Amino acid sequence: MDEPPPKSGWLERLGAMLIRKPEDREQLITLLHSAFERNLLDSDALSMIEGVMQVSEMQARDIMVPRSQMDVVDISKKPEQFIPFVIEAAHSRFPVIEGSEDEIIGILLAKDLLRYYADPE
């Protein structure tokens, strides 16, 4: 049978003392940027890791929009009436309401309006 490798030699312990582990968020970010500069991480991986770290700090209220400030589309309006608003607001999704903002009946994806322009029937 193979014997497991020794726990830790003096060289490994010395290396562990010389290589500092990040003790806080800032040191971790510095370490990640250092890895990027040495081509150990590509820019996409670095961006994703930083994004995950930012999201972990967020709370729902950080990204929510107050109801009074929501950009909505009323189902009773014709597309010709709300398309200019959708273009101006430049969001990817719009709550669809029926009557009031308390009656959300769905979500309009702005990209779905491309189909309307391609075939308005």
Q: What is residue 16's predicted lDDT score, i.e. its pLDDT?
A: 59
Q: Is residue 38 part of a domain?
A: yes
Kindly state the average pLDDT of the residues 24-48. Answer: 90
Q: Residue 42 belongs to what domain range?
A: 10-62
Indicate if the pLDDT at residue 8 is higher than 70. no
If asked whether residues 75 and 86 sit together in one domain, one would say: yes
Q: What is the pLDDT of residues 41-85, one digit of tens each?
A: 899 999 999 988 888 777 888 888 888 889 999 999 998 899 999
- 73 with 55, same domain: the answer is no
**What total number of domains does the chain contain?**
2
pTM of this structure: 0.51
- Give pLDDT tens digits for 9-25: 766 666 655 676 888 88
Q: How far is CA 115 from CA 5, 30, 48, in A?
A: 63, 46, 32
| Same domain assignment for residues 24 and 49 | yes
CA distance 47 to 38: 16
pLDDT (tens digit per residue) in 92-113: 999 999 988 889 999 999 998 8
